[in-house]
Amino acid sequence: MVKKLDFILYYGLIVFAFVLPISIAATNIVWVVLLLVWIIKIIIKKSENFYTPLNYPISIFLIITVVFSIFGLNFFKSMKGMNSELLFIVFFIIAINVKDFQHVKKIAYFFLISSALTGLLGLWQYFSGQNLYDNVIYGKTANLISMFNFRAHGTRSWMHTYAEGLLMALPIGVSFLIYSKKRIIYYFIIGLIVSGIVLSYVRMAWIATVIIFIIMFFILIRRKKNINLSYLLIPLILIAFSSVFLPKRGNIIKRAIDFKDPIRINMWKTSVAILKDYPIFGTGMKNIKTIFPEYYEKLGLDKEYYKLSHLHNTYLHISVERGILGLIIFLSVFGFYFYYGIRKAKYINNFEKYFVIGCLLGILGFMITGLTEHVYGDSEVKITAFFLMALTFYKSKAVFFDRDGTINEDVHYLSNVKDLRIFEKSASAIKLLNDSEFKIIIVTNQSGIARGYFTLNDVKEVNEVLVNKLKENNAYVNTVYVCPHHPDEECFCRKPKPRMLYAAKRDLNIDLKESYVVGDKQCDIDLAKNINIKSVLVLSGQGENVKGADYVAKDILDAAEWIIKNENEKK
């Protein structure tokens, strides 16, 4: 039964990704169904790994929102506004049920295809040639095949949510472009996405698009990645296109730099005035529409648009609703996201690295557009943001290797790279596990540091040479964790204590239950037992009298082959 539910969740997330850019109604139906399936799975299985790096900041943000709503202008309105915070459930549904990076790629691929289709719809809306929104000839289909005030809106009710959704898909498309052999497909996808953004005439989305392209370009240059110059030509061609073929709304460059918008400026002035009177707890959620006109009139501002229920700035809106502390906690959620997202990108390579960078840039675009729009208040945009944030922290399985006696010869207190002798089969074994989607993590006790025999820098130098030599043979080690303490210090990281494994779980979102420990000493086998995962003893080091391993391997390659076999038997 659990396998059937996993099957539904696996493909349900792909369906969710496809409908996300197209229909908020379909999106809501799919995520609610997935939630129900997930709840049933939890009840049957009676356990679930709910860990994500954002659990604590999200929980604190929700608690602060509820508590501060008690002191708001209208408690019942505020509680009604809490419905929008339920969308955080989407983040957990995705983050906890995504299986591995292969699953992520499938999900992201359908998200890109759907985003490209909405970009194509934007082009169709423009080249229909007329504003047909109220045209009786087309009836109910008019809003689908027309421009909204000569601005593309796809299937969204407003062009801003349309542009902001496409903006977050854009860097994901670029990450696929970098590593795809069929680049022409992704040039086409990116071109359609950028076209939709351009035709929306949302200026901050334009600015964020340029920023994303520039950041991605410099990341590629820094990493000496070969790129085609046409990568940069995509936005330039579309800007030129807009200047020539979009006379109805004027030159894109002139419009992008024109921020003399009295409506927004007046709204922000009013927001600051409200915040001065409600700095601690804010007005409470959903109370802005009630109090805003009063302050607007006090300032003697133009009466036009003074009844808007949002403040055209995410950060001002959060501040006015939930106070300064609420804003700080809100920003901390994204601060933790970027912190752990960047750390994860540091420890992974190739397509995975650029995919995570793409997610990070998508959320950066979300935050940039929040300077002039209340993006956090648009459910379509918010769900897309949670979607990317969840995909950033996809789960991975790992093999935790001891170093000395397992990967390389056990030289007593190894501290000099001249004494480093890597076993002949180590690169082949690690590459085999790389190809099977395992993260490779070295965990090593180095008490010689505490004993004064060598320094932490000496150990780092040896580890760096080891990792680089393996990489030369196409074997990739994600990271190395070192315990520098003396056995008598009773630290929490020295094997068999599991702190180094928990650090890997935090940094790479490792699913420890699906992982393995490989080593040549009793402490390695006991480490695996301490967190109830499988262990492999290798006889290439000091392992002859070690007991309790799930498998005894003659060397590291034998260990890797057994792990692959064991994984295949589970399927």
Residues forming the active site: 402, 404
Query: What's phi and psi for 534, nearest 5 deg?
Result: -75, 150
- Residue 107 and residue 95 in contact, taking contact as beta carbons nearer than 8 Å: no
For residues 476 and 348, give the distance between their C-alpha atoms in angstroms, rounded to a whole number.
9
Nearest to 386 by CA among 85, 88, 150, 66: 88
Nearest to 270 by CA among 238, 308, 233, 237: 308
For residue 569, with 0-12 CB atoms within 10 Å meaning exposed, 13-18 middle and 19 or more buried, which class applies?
Answer: exposed
Q: DSSP of 198-211, one letter per residue? A: HHHT-HHHHHHHHH
Record the tokens describing residue 228, joined without a space.
């085609």
- Residue 212 and residue 170 in contact, taking contact as beta carbons nearer than 8 Å: yes
Strand partners, 517: 400, 535
For residues 70 and 281, give the distance between their C-alpha atoms in angstroms, rounded to a whole number.
9
> Looking up tokens 């934007």, which residue turns up?
122
Record the tokens describing residue 2, joined without a space.
């659990």
Strands of the sheet containing 534-538, edge to edge, are: 479-483, 438-445, 397-401, 516-519, 534-538, 551-553
- Residue 87 and residue 382 in contact, taking contact as beta carbons nearer than 8 Å: yes
Cα separations (Å) of 42 from 29, 36, 295, 514? 20, 10, 49, 18
- Residue 540 and residue 434 in contact, taking contact as beta carbons nearer than 8 Å: no
Q: How would you classify the pairing of strands 479-483 and 438-445? A: parallel
For residue 182, with 0-12 CB atoms within 10 Å meaning exposed, 13-18 middle and 19 or more buried, which class applies?
Answer: exposed
In degrees, rounded to 5, the angle at the alpha carbon of residue 445 between the alpha carbons of residues 430 and 433 is 10
For residues 78 and 69, give the distance between their C-alpha atoms in angstroms, rounded to a whole number.
6
